[in-house]
Structure 1
Amino acid sequence: MELRHIRYFLAVAREGNFTRAAARIGIGQPPLSQQIRDLENEIGTALFHRVPHGAELTEAGMAFLEVVAQFPDLAERAIRAAQRAGRGEVGSIRVGFTASAAFSPSVPRVFRDFRRSYPGVEMTLEEANSAQLVAGLRDERLDAVFLRQDTIAGDGIRLHVISSEPMVLVLPSGHPAAQREKVALSELRDEALILTPRAVGPTHYDKVVTACRDAGFEPQMGQIAPQLGSVINFVAAELGFSLVPKPMTQLQAKGVAYREIEGEVPIAQLSLAYRSNDISIALRNFVSRTLVAHRQPRIDE
């Protein structure tokens, strides 16, 4: 039994006449009659009484009609559901991000635009440090992540650098250097440097340390902060200074001053990473929209 048999049966049942039913569905009356006979033979009982002016449902036909009346609508719904899934308009996606990435204006915008464009896709967001995000990708707890790394060791992870942002100094507001708009990094050679552990954010850690060395001094490591938000708070407590991506200046904390770096400015890169073997259409849509929003080539180009 095929769906076309159901459609033919319903046409005859609704029209009560083989000729009108054939005209309605666009086939000849003899082929329609043969298809109904084939259906009756498969079921093993007559579905219609053939009468002089048309066709009437038998009791078996009425019982059959009660069950199959919704089949064409169900089939259409199934087709539309499959088409939506094929376009990535349903499903789920789990996205991670670092605290500093969340301050980059483009990241919240990507989340907002994706939700508006794909309301049927459930998007779950998770904030964590870079090491946790990479681990989440590898063990498939996360589908895509925004983080401050330009490389990821090992195979299986694809990474796109989507933007580059200058770093700025974070100083206690009472520090003498905070009275100027720009500060040379070398002026802070005798100050304690506050950073997150290298294990949780190796790229940021290395770039800050390298910037200090390029400025002519080995940094004096001060208090270790669990995340960049804590770095800001520790600077406010006058425990030292630090460098953060410029978007973090949105985090206004009492006792903190953000200042531009005089001379060569280290760059913080924002990247999107995901598993290279992930074939989810929802993920491909998310990645493509993110790259387009950052004027990067789509993943299928």
Structure 2
Amino acid sequence: MEFRQLEYFIAVVETGSISAASRKVHVAQPALTRQMRLLEEDVGTRLLDRHARGIRLTVAGRALYGEATRMLDERADLKTRLLALGSGQTGKLSLGVTVTHLWVPEVARLMGGYRRRYPHVALDVFPLLSGPQLEKLQQGGIDVGIIYHDDHAPSGIKAHLLQRDHLILAVPTTSSWAQLPPTNLAELAGVEFVWGYRSISPVYHDRVVAHFSRLNFEPHVVQYGADNITILSMVAAGLGVAIVPAASRSHPMPGIHFIELDELTTCDMPLWLAWRIGNITPVLDNFIQMAVDIFE
């Protein structure tokens, strides 16, 4: 029993005759008659009673008509679902985003645009720093991440450069620095800094420290925060100043004044889209392509 034979059988039943069905399915009448006989031989019983004015279904024919209609509908539904999965129209995608970048316009456009284009893909977003993201990527906990990293992706990870960020000074709006900003890092010697723990993002931390070492600058750290948003909230509370990625300006943070310094602008902070090698799916491939288009 073939799906093609079932389609012919349904056409015969619904048109009421072999001749009318042959015109509907564009198959010669003798060939269609032969297919109906083969179908009856396959099921082992007569399905159609032929008479001068057409055909009449037997009891077995009526049962097959109902089942054939259901089977063809299920086949069409399965083909549609498989096509959607194969083209990335449905499925699930888990995305990690550094906390700093949740409000960056390009990231917002990426998440919103992906949701609008692929409304049947479940998009789970996890605000994670770069270190935890890399761990989850390598362990399969997330599918793709937006992370700070150096120019060499770690083992098992493939990455695409999205943009190059730099560092910026954040001070409380109540600070004298907000009205009379420093012109270089040397003026910040001895100033109390809020800093981040190395363990939460080793690559980011080491890149910043290496840059300061080249400038012979060492911040006087008095407070630590778990991520950039926490650090900025501590700055706003007057606990010190901080040096953070320039993308932090995208976050609506009252009480903070940002200052550009040439020595901070020269610290290249590359932002990457990263995913696990061998884990490409249609859903992920669509996301990667959209990210590349938006960040170009």
Using the alignment, how far apart are the partners of 1:154 and 1:211 within structure 2? 21
Using the alignment, how far apart are the partners of 2:37 and 2:84 within structure 1? 37
Q: Which residue of 1 aligns with 2:276?
A: 275
Contact between 1:6 and 1:71, CA under 8 Å: does it hold in 2?
A: no
CA-CA distance at 1:227 after TM superposition: 0.8
Q: Which residue of 2 aligns with 1:41?
A: 41
What is the letter of the counterpart of residue 229 of structure 1?
A: I
Alignment of 1:130-209 (within 5 A): 130-151=130-151, 154-181=154-181, 183-209=183-209
CA-CA distance at 1:222 after TM superposition: 2.4
Q: Which residue of 1 aligns with 2:286?
A: 285
- Unpaired runs of 5+ residues, structure 1, are 296-301
CA deviation map 1:21-75 (0-9, x unaligned): 1121111111111111111111111001111232111111112112222333332
Distance 1:73 1:38, change over 3 A: same
CA-CA distance at 1:101 after TM superposition: 1.8
Q: Which residue of 1 aligns with 2:88?
A: 88
What is the letter of the counterpart of residue 279 of structure 1?
A: I
Using the alignment, how far apart are the partners of 2:131 and 2:195 within structure 1? 15
Q: Tell me, what secondary structure is at the counterpart of 1:88? A: coil
CA deviation map 1:70-112 (0-9, x unaligned): 3333322222222222211011000011111213211111000
Structure 1 residue 31 and structure 2 residue 31: aligned?
A: yes
Moved more, 42-51 or 169-178: 169-178
Contact between 2:100 and 2:251, CA under 8 Å: does it hold in 1?
A: no
Using the alignment, how far apart are the partners of 2:86 and 2:78 within structure 1? 12
CA-CA distance at 1:219 after TM superposition: 2.6
Q: Tell me, what secondary structure is at the counterpart of 1:199? A: helix
Contact between 2:166 and 2:264, CA under 8 Å: does it hold in 1?
A: no
Contact between 1:160 and 1:273, CA under 8 Å: does it hold in 2?
A: yes
Using the alignment, how far apart are the partners of 2:209 and 2:95 within structure 1? 29
Using the alignment, how far apart are the partners of 2:158 and 2:51 within structure 1? 69
Using the alignment, how far apart are the partners of 1:179 and 1:280 within structure 2? 52
Distance 1:23 1:33, change over 3 A: same
Q: Which residue of 1 aligns with 2:257?
A: 257
Distance 1:253 1:15, change over 3 A: closer
Provide the aligned length of Structure 1 versus Structure 2.
295
Structure 1 residue 126 and structure 2 residue 126: aligned?
A: yes
Give me the TM-score of the superposition, normalised by structure 1: 0.91
Using the alignment, how far apart are the partners of 1:233 and 1:76 within structure 2? 55
Give me the TM-score of the superposition, normalised by structure 2: 0.92
Using the alignment, how far apart are the partners of 1:125 and 1:44 within structure 2? 56
Contact between 1:161 and 1:270, CA under 8 Å: does it hold in 2?
A: yes
Alignment of 1:212-231 (within 5 A): 212-231=212-231
Is the helix fraction higher in 1 or 2?
2
Using the alignment, how far apart are the partners of 1:216 and 1:279 within structure 2? 44
- Unpaired runs of 5+ residues, structure 2, are none
What is the letter of the counterpart of residue 294 of structure 1?
A: F
Q: Which residue of 1 aligns with 2:64?
A: 64
Q: Which residue of 2 aligns with 1:298?
A: none
Contact between 2:132 and 2:201, CA under 8 Å: does it hold in 1?
A: no
CA-CA distance at 1:153 after TM superposition: 6.0
What is the letter of the counterpart of residue 270 of structure 1?
A: L
Equivalent pairs: percent with the same residue?
A: 27
Using the alignment, how far apart are the partners of 1:263 and 1:130 within structure 2? 24
Higher relative contact order (CA 8 A, sep 6+): 2
Structure 1 residue 294 and structure 2 residue 295: aligned?
A: yes
Q: Tell me, what secondary structure is at the counterpart of 2:261? A: strand
Moved more, 30-39 or 205-214: 205-214
